[in-house]
A and B are shown apart, each in its own frame.
Chain A
Amino acid sequence: EAGVTQFPSHSVIEKGQTVTLRCDPISGHDNLYWYRRVMGKEIKFLLHFVKESKQDESGMPNNRFLAERTGGTYSTLKVQPAELEDSGVYFCASSSGPRYTFGSGTRLTVV
């Protein structure tokens, strides 16, 4: 089966700009998650979708971050306006049952 796909793999933007990250989960996986790893720190949970509904968005850092999951398929994570501290690697994962499959991440650099 195809894995979890994320794009872009890298993005460099200026402070104040907008960036949209995309995640395509494994087909049929109802659960979709976003995580972020800031340089040198642990991987932190951002939010969890079940199908198109937000199950838990307790990890979203602030209202500059907006996540959507259209029709319960792919998901986007928009950062607007981006700040320097938003730099890091953003991972997406999907699950069905006890196993989580992660994408290769999007490395976001805000300059």
Chain B
Amino acid sequence: ELKVEQNPLFLSMQEGKNYTIYCNYSTTSDRLYWYRQDPGKSLESLFVLLSNGAVKQEGRLMASLDTKARLSTLHITAAVHDLSATYFCAVDAVGGNEKLTFGTGTRLTIIP
């Protein structure tokens, strides 16, 4: 059974600081996803990582994937208050379009 571990669960950081969220998964997978969720809202797709060594950046967020280590990271650079949200990683089974297995989520709070 595919397991996805995400840490930390809670993260409170000051504006302007850098931090990293980690996502480990237990078995071979083709795809790794990062989502953002604001309270009461949908899961917003941030990144789709499709191969070993993939790195994607959007604004202050950068995601990377190491399939050999079964590890993905979401790095936040110079955090701003607008980034406060819950972030989830999710892994797609080999072959794709089957089902996503999610991490527990990281609730990120940016303090002014």
Contacts and interface: CB of A to CB of B under 8 A. Distances in A.
A42 B45 contact: no
A41 B105 CA distance: 8
Contacts of B105: 42-43
Contacts of A93: 43, 100
A55 to B, nearest CB: 8
Contacts of A59: 99
A43 B45 contact: no
Nearest to A31: B97
A104 B37 CA distance: 9
Contacts of B103: 42
Contacts of B98: 48, 55-56
Contact of B42 (A44, A95, A98, A103): A103
By size class, the interface of chain B is: 20 to 34
Contacts of A103: 42
B99 A102 contact: no
B96 interface: yes
B25 interface: no
Contacts of B101: 45
Q: Which 8 A-B pairs have the closest CB atoms?
A: A102-B43, A104-B42, A43-B102, A45-B99, A42-B104, A42-B102, A102-B42, A31-B97
15 contacts: A33-B100, A41-B104, A42-B4, A43-B88, A45-B101, A48-B99, A56-B98, A56-B99, A91-B42, A91-B43, A98-B31, A98-B48, A98-B50, A99-B45, A100-B33
